[in-house]
Amino acid sequence: MNNAKILVIEDESAIRNLISTALQTNGYKNDVAPNGSTALLSLSTQQYDLVLLDLGLPDTDGIEIIKKYRTFSTTPIIVISARSNDNDKIIALDEGADDYLTKPFNVEELLARVRSTIRRIQYSETKKTEEVRYFINGQLKIDYVSQTVYVSDEEIHLMPIEYSLLCLLAKNVGRVLTHRYILDKVWVNSIESDLSSLRVYLTSLRKKIEKKSNEKYIQTHIGVGYKMVLIKPTDAEVKNHE
Protein backbone atom coordinates (compact mmCIF):
# COMPACT_ATOMS: atom_id res chain seq x y z
CA MET A 1 0.00 0.00 0.00
CA ASN A 2 2.47 2.61 -1.20
CA ASN A 3 -0.28 5.13 -1.80
CA ALA A 4 -1.52 4.96 1.80
CA LYS A 5 -3.02 8.24 2.90
CA ILE A 6 -2.40 9.47 6.43
CA LEU A 7 -3.88 12.33 8.46
CA VAL A 8 -1.50 14.00 10.90
CA ILE A 9 -3.31 15.81 13.73
CA GLU A 10 -0.83 17.94 15.69
CA ASP A 11 -0.93 21.54 16.87
CA GLU A 12 2.81 22.15 17.26
CA SER A 13 4.02 23.19 13.82
CA ALA A 14 7.61 21.95 14.30
CA ILE A 15 6.43 18.42 15.17
CA ARG A 16 3.72 18.51 12.49
CA ASN A 17 6.26 19.42 9.82
CA LEU A 18 8.73 16.84 11.06
CA ILE A 19 6.13 14.06 10.85
CA SER A 20 4.71 15.24 7.54
CA THR A 21 8.15 15.46 5.91
CA ALA A 22 9.18 12.05 7.23
CA LEU A 23 5.99 10.51 5.84
CA GLN A 24 6.40 12.22 2.48
CA THR A 25 10.04 11.14 2.20
CA ASN A 26 8.88 7.59 2.75
CA GLY A 27 6.23 7.74 0.07
CA TYR A 28 3.10 8.32 2.17
CA LYS A 29 0.57 10.91 1.12
CA ASN A 30 -0.56 12.96 4.05
CA ASP A 31 -2.83 15.78 5.13
CA VAL A 32 -2.25 17.80 8.26
CA ALA A 33 -4.66 19.28 10.79
CA PRO A 34 -3.49 21.78 13.45
CA ASN A 35 -6.57 21.49 15.68
CA GLY A 36 -9.57 19.33 16.49
CA SER A 37 -12.16 21.06 14.32
CA THR A 38 -10.02 20.92 11.16
CA ALA A 39 -9.23 17.28 11.99
CA LEU A 40 -12.91 16.32 12.34
CA LEU A 41 -13.76 18.07 9.08
CA SER A 42 -11.01 16.12 7.24
CA LEU A 43 -11.97 12.85 8.92
CA SER A 44 -15.61 13.21 7.93
CA THR A 45 -14.95 14.20 4.32
CA GLN A 46 -11.84 12.21 3.35
CA GLN A 47 -10.90 8.54 3.42
CA TYR A 48 -7.68 7.82 5.31
CA ASP A 49 -5.70 4.62 5.82
CA LEU A 50 -4.13 5.76 9.08
CA VAL A 51 -4.50 8.63 11.56
CA LEU A 52 -1.67 10.00 13.75
CA LEU A 53 -3.21 11.88 16.64
CA ASP A 54 -1.80 14.22 19.26
CA LEU A 55 -4.00 14.19 22.37
CA GLY A 56 -3.26 17.73 23.57
CA LEU A 57 -4.95 19.99 21.02
CA PRO A 58 -5.92 23.64 21.54
CA ASP A 59 -9.67 23.27 20.94
CA THR A 60 -10.48 19.59 21.59
CA ASP A 61 -9.12 16.74 23.64
CA GLY A 62 -7.76 14.09 21.28
CA ILE A 63 -9.81 11.48 23.17
CA GLU A 64 -12.98 13.22 21.89
CA ILE A 65 -11.68 12.85 18.34
CA ILE A 66 -11.16 9.12 18.86
CA LYS A 67 -14.71 8.79 20.23
CA LYS A 68 -16.31 10.69 17.34
CA TYR A 69 -14.21 8.99 14.64
CA ARG A 70 -14.98 5.54 16.01
CA THR A 71 -18.71 6.12 15.49
CA PHE A 72 -18.17 5.92 11.73
CA SER A 73 -14.69 4.56 10.97
CA THR A 74 -12.39 1.68 11.88
CA THR A 75 -9.29 3.27 10.32
CA PRO A 76 -6.31 2.68 12.67
CA ILE A 77 -5.29 5.50 15.00
CA ILE A 78 -1.82 5.84 16.49
CA VAL A 79 -1.78 8.27 19.39
CA ILE A 80 1.34 10.42 19.70
CA SER A 81 1.25 12.19 23.01
CA ALA A 82 3.33 13.92 25.64
CA ARG A 83 1.05 12.34 28.25
CA SER A 84 3.13 9.47 29.55
CA ASN A 85 0.58 8.55 32.22
CA ASP A 86 -0.59 4.94 31.84
CA ASN A 87 -4.16 5.98 32.51
CA ASP A 88 -4.24 8.31 29.48
CA LYS A 89 -2.89 5.51 27.28
CA ILE A 90 -5.53 3.14 28.65
CA ILE A 91 -8.37 5.60 28.00
CA ALA A 92 -7.15 6.25 24.43
CA LEU A 93 -6.86 2.50 23.74
CA ASP A 94 -10.23 1.70 25.29
CA GLU A 95 -11.86 4.41 23.18
CA GLY A 96 -10.48 2.72 20.07
CA ALA A 97 -6.90 3.87 19.43
CA ASP A 98 -4.72 1.06 18.08
CA ASP A 99 -1.31 2.01 19.40
CA TYR A 100 0.50 4.89 21.07
CA LEU A 101 3.86 6.59 21.02
CA THR A 102 5.09 8.87 23.82
CA LYS A 103 6.76 12.20 23.07
CA PRO A 104 9.59 12.88 22.59
CA PHE A 105 9.70 10.15 19.97
CA ASN A 106 12.23 8.96 17.45
CA VAL A 107 11.16 9.42 13.80
CA GLU A 108 12.45 5.95 12.90
CA GLU A 109 10.27 4.47 15.65
CA LEU A 110 7.26 6.36 14.31
CA LEU A 111 7.93 5.11 10.76
CA ALA A 112 8.26 1.55 12.07
CA ARG A 113 4.83 1.85 13.75
CA VAL A 114 3.34 3.30 10.55
CA ARG A 115 4.79 0.46 8.47
CA SER A 116 3.56 -2.23 10.84
CA THR A 117 0.07 -0.73 11.04
CA ILE A 118 -0.19 -0.51 7.26
CA ARG A 119 1.10 -4.08 6.98
CA ARG A 120 -1.66 -5.12 9.36
CA ILE A 121 -4.37 -3.39 7.27
CA GLN A 122 -3.11 -5.22 4.18
CA TYR A 123 -3.02 -8.45 6.18
CA SER A 124 -6.61 -8.12 7.41
CA GLU A 125 -7.81 -7.19 3.93
CA THR A 126 -6.24 -10.37 2.54
CA LYS A 127 -7.78 -12.38 5.37
CA LYS A 128 -11.25 -11.05 4.59
CA THR A 129 -11.20 -12.83 1.26
CA GLU A 130 -9.71 -16.05 2.63
CA GLU A 131 -11.16 -18.85 4.68
CA VAL A 132 -11.19 -17.77 8.30
CA ARG A 133 -10.33 -21.23 9.51
CA TYR A 134 -6.65 -20.48 10.14
CA PHE A 135 -4.72 -17.66 11.72
CA ILE A 136 -1.08 -17.66 10.65
CA ASN A 137 1.55 -15.31 12.04
CA GLY A 138 5.20 -16.25 11.48
CA GLN A 139 5.56 -19.80 12.85
CA LEU A 140 2.34 -19.58 14.84
CA LYS A 141 -0.80 -21.17 13.44
CA ILE A 142 -4.25 -21.39 15.00
CA ASP A 143 -6.86 -23.71 13.54
CA TYR A 144 -10.11 -22.19 14.79
CA VAL A 145 -12.20 -25.16 13.72
CA SER A 146 -10.29 -27.87 15.57
CA GLN A 147 -9.11 -25.33 18.19
CA THR A 148 -5.55 -26.48 17.75
CA VAL A 149 -2.43 -24.34 17.97
CA TYR A 150 0.84 -25.08 16.19
CA VAL A 151 4.25 -23.49 16.41
CA SER A 152 6.71 -24.53 13.71
CA ASP A 153 4.23 -27.29 12.73
CA GLU A 154 4.31 -28.77 16.23
CA GLU A 155 1.09 -28.91 18.22
CA ILE A 156 1.08 -26.83 21.39
CA HIS A 157 -1.20 -27.89 24.25
CA LEU A 158 -3.00 -24.95 25.79
CA MET A 159 -5.48 -24.69 28.62
CA PRO A 160 -8.89 -23.37 27.47
CA ILE A 161 -8.25 -19.97 29.03
CA GLU A 162 -4.83 -19.70 27.36
CA TYR A 163 -6.46 -20.60 24.05
CA SER A 164 -9.11 -17.88 24.52
CA LEU A 165 -6.41 -15.36 25.38
CA LEU A 166 -4.40 -16.31 22.31
CA CYS A 167 -7.45 -16.05 20.01
CA LEU A 168 -8.34 -12.62 21.38
CA LEU A 169 -4.79 -11.34 20.82
CA ALA A 170 -4.70 -12.93 17.35
CA LYS A 171 -8.01 -11.39 16.29
CA ASN A 172 -6.62 -8.00 17.32
CA VAL A 173 -3.11 -8.51 15.95
CA GLY A 174 -1.15 -5.24 15.98
CA ARG A 175 -3.46 -3.60 18.51
CA VAL A 176 -2.59 -2.93 22.13
CA LEU A 177 -5.37 -4.48 24.23
CA THR A 178 -5.78 -3.09 27.74
CA HIS A 179 -5.97 -5.38 30.78
CA ARG A 180 -9.59 -4.35 31.31
CA TYR A 181 -10.53 -5.17 27.71
CA ILE A 182 -8.91 -8.61 27.93
CA LEU A 183 -10.50 -9.39 31.29
CA ASP A 184 -13.94 -8.35 30.01
CA LYS A 185 -13.62 -10.55 26.93
CA VAL A 186 -11.98 -13.65 28.41
CA TRP A 187 -12.96 -13.78 32.08
CA VAL A 188 -16.61 -14.22 32.97
CA ASN A 189 -17.70 -11.60 35.55
CA SER A 190 -14.16 -10.31 35.91
CA ILE A 191 -13.09 -8.49 39.03
CA GLU A 192 -10.07 -6.27 39.67
CA SER A 193 -8.05 -9.05 41.34
CA ASP A 194 -8.22 -11.12 38.15
CA LEU A 195 -5.38 -8.98 36.81
CA SER A 196 -2.86 -11.18 38.64
CA SER A 197 -4.35 -14.36 37.14
CA LEU A 198 -4.27 -12.70 33.70
CA ARG A 199 -0.53 -12.17 34.20
CA VAL A 200 -0.07 -15.81 35.23
CA TYR A 201 -1.94 -17.23 32.22
CA LEU A 202 -0.29 -14.80 29.84
CA THR A 203 3.17 -15.79 31.08
CA SER A 204 2.40 -19.47 30.70
CA LEU A 205 0.87 -18.94 27.23
CA ARG A 206 3.91 -16.96 26.14
CA LYS A 207 6.27 -19.67 27.39
CA LYS A 208 4.41 -22.31 25.42
CA ILE A 209 4.22 -20.46 22.12
CA GLU A 210 7.61 -18.79 22.25
CA LYS A 211 9.56 -21.87 23.35
CA LYS A 212 9.60 -23.50 19.93
CA SER A 213 10.30 -20.36 18.00
CA ASN A 214 12.66 -17.40 18.26
CA GLU A 215 9.82 -15.01 17.58
CA LYS A 216 8.39 -12.77 20.29
CA TYR A 217 4.67 -12.87 19.54
CA ILE A 218 3.28 -11.12 22.59
CA GLN A 219 4.49 -7.69 23.67
CA THR A 220 3.94 -6.49 27.23
CA HIS A 221 2.93 -2.85 27.68
CA ILE A 222 3.70 -2.40 31.35
CA GLY A 223 0.77 -0.98 33.30
CA VAL A 224 -1.37 -0.94 30.14
CA GLY A 225 -1.86 -4.33 28.48
CA TYR A 226 -0.60 -6.65 25.75
CA LYS A 227 -0.22 -6.72 21.98
CA MET A 228 0.32 -9.53 19.50
CA VAL A 229 2.96 -8.40 17.03
CA LEU A 230 2.44 -9.14 13.35
CA ILE A 231 5.62 -10.98 12.38
CA LYS A 232 6.89 -9.94 8.98
CA PRO A 233 6.13 -12.82 6.62
CA THR A 234 9.11 -14.40 4.90
CA ASP A 235 9.31 -14.18 1.11
CA ALA A 236 8.43 -17.87 0.91
CA GLU A 237 5.20 -17.32 2.86
CA VAL A 238 4.29 -14.32 0.76
CA LYS A 239 4.64 -16.46 -2.35
CA ASN A 240 2.43 -19.14 -0.81
CA HIS A 241 -0.31 -16.60 -0.29
CA GLU A 242 -0.20 -15.32 -3.86
Catalog residues that contact Ca ion under the rule CB under 5 A.
11, 54, 56
| Residue whose CB is nearest to Ca ion in the complex, by number | 56
Cβ proximity to Ca ion: between 16 and 179 the closer is: 16
Cβ proximity to Ca ion: between 56 and 233 the closer is: 56
Please report how close the Cβ of residue 104 comes to Ca ion at its closest, in angstroms.
12
Cβ proximity to Ca ion: between 54 and 95 the closer is: 54
Cβ proximity to Ca ion: between 31 and 215 the closer is: 31
Please report how close the Cβ of residue 58 comes to Ca ion at its closest, in angstroms.
8
Please report how close the Cβ of residue 20 comes to Ca ion at its closest, in angstroms.
15
3-state secondary structure the chain: CCCCEEEEECCCHHHHHHHHHHHHHCCCEEEEECCHHHHHHHHHHCCCCEEEEECECCCCEHHHHHHHHHCCCCCCEEEEECCCCHHHHHHHHHCCCCEEEECCCCHHHHHHHHHHHHHHHHHHHHHHHCCCCEEEECCEEEECCCCEEEECCEEECCCHHHHHHHHHHHHCCCCEEEHHHHHHHHCCCCCCCHHHHHHHHHHHHHHHHHHCCCCCCEEEECCCEEEECCCCCCHHHHHHHC
